[in-house]
């Protein structure tokens, strides 16, 4: 899965990244789904270990265009993990109170504590994406944020947080199909906003903003992965694999009891 990792300072042209790619798993959709199930079980064990050991903190950042599949990825990748010790933080348009603070204020409050796994469904990256595309603050302001974000994430990493950032990469045609599917199914109307069509018109501006994000904020402390996401099963498989491999790499252990349990008899 290394091929999806964005190396620090690597120039990214998203048009050269194939959103239909499934090349790292030859088995196709059905076998892929079976593989995801296996990874789900492994993730369940690893998350229990994370919680029990109470040492590491894990932060997963999900970013995507509308319909990119953040919600689906959360449902499928984290199926089975214990809600105790796992949390999803959603970042919507900031409230008046949030706007009165610096943009990282609301983000910092949501970062994982020891033993916790937190998924950011959108994140502080909105402050250099939607904010940039819609000119919500002047260029001089959002431009300084890349360094600030890198420093913030570096501080989190230095204080025990493992950070993985995933950009779910779909193309404009796939978005059209997904939007149309929402429009066609009354049970999906709740997900459809007319505003999504306005955002869609800004596709190339968003791509440019994402390219900058990926180039400037993929660091050793907090790497970005570009996940081919036109095929949902492959998207989930890539995220699960990277996450499980990363957690395995932490070499976590169940803590030993502070008391001497040898010879204890329960009457
Ligand atoms: P989602 O699309 O993630 O399922 P919503 O449909 O509620 O959730 O969209 C959340 C909206 O909040 C998005 O349009 C996003 O761009 C916007 N948003 C998030 N963070 C910010 C921010 N810092 N400034 C402005 N808008 C933001």
The reported pLDDT for the residue numbered 197 is 97
Question: 222: closest CA among 87, 137, 69, 107?
Answer: 107
The reported pLDDT for the residue numbered 80 is 84
Residue ranges in the chain whose pLDDT is less than 70:
none
Q: How many independent structural domains does the chain possess?
A: 1
Shortest-distance atom of ligand 1 to CA 196: 14
The reported pLDDT for the residue numbered 51 is 97
* Within a domain: 263: no
* Within a domain: 133: yes
The residue contributing the CA closest to ligand 1 atom 5 is: 92
* Within a domain: 189: yes
* Within a domain: 104: yes
Asked if 85 contacts 33 with a C-beta cutoff of 8 angstroms, the reply is no
* Within a domain: 254: no
The residue contributing the CA closest to ligand 1 atom 22 is: 93
* Within a domain: 66: yes
CA atoms within 13 A on the CB side of 163: 25
End-to-end CA distance of the chain: 52
Q: Residue 93 Cα, ligand 1 centroid: separation in angstroms?
A: 5
Shortest-distance atom of ligand 1 to CA 199: 14
Shortest-distance atom of ligand 1 to CA 122: 3
The reported pLDDT for the residue numbered 15 is 97
The reported pLDDT for the residue numbered 9 is 86
The residue contributing the CA closest to ligand 1 atom 25 is: 93
| Segments forming the whole domain that contains residue 6 | 2-248
Question: Quick check: pTM over 0.85?
Answer: yes
Q: Residue 72 Cα, ligand 1 centroid: separation in angstroms?
A: 17
Residue keyed to tokens 């105790």: 84
CATH number at residue 201: 3.40.50.300
């Amino acid at each position: 899965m290394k091929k999806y990792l964005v190396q620090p300072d690597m120039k990214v042209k998203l048009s050269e990244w194939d959103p239909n790619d499934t090349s790292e798993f030859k088995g196709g959709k059905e076998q892929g789904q079976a593989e995801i199930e296996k990874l789900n079980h492994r993730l369940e064990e690893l998350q229990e270990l994370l919680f029990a050991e109470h040492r590491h903190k894990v932060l997963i950042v999900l970013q995507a265009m509308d319909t990119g599949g953040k919600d689906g990825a959360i449902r499928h990748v984290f199926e089975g993990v214990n809600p105790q010790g796992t949390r999803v933080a959603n970042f919507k348009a900031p409230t008046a109170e949030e706007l009165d603070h610096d943009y990282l204020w609301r983000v910092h409050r949501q970062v994982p504590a020891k033993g916790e796994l937190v998924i950011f469904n959108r994140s502080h990256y909105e402050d250099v994406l939607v904010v940039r595309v819609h000119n919500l603050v002047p260029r001089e302001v959002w431009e300084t944020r890349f360094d600030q974000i890198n420093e913030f994430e570096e501080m989190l990493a230095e204080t025990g947080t493992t950070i993985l950032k995933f950009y779910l990469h779909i193309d404009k045609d796939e978005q059209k199909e997904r939007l149309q599917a929402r429009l066609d199914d009354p049970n999906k109307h709740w997900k459809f906003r007319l505003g999504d069509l306005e955002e869609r018109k800004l596709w190339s501006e968003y791509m440019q903003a994402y390219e900058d994000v990926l180039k400037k904020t993929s660091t050793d402390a907090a790497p970005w992965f570009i996940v081919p996401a036109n095929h949902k099963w492959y998207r989930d498989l890539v995220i699960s694999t990277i996450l499980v491999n990363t957690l395995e790499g932490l070499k976590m252990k169940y803590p030993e009891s502070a008391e001497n349990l040898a010879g204890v008899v329960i009457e």
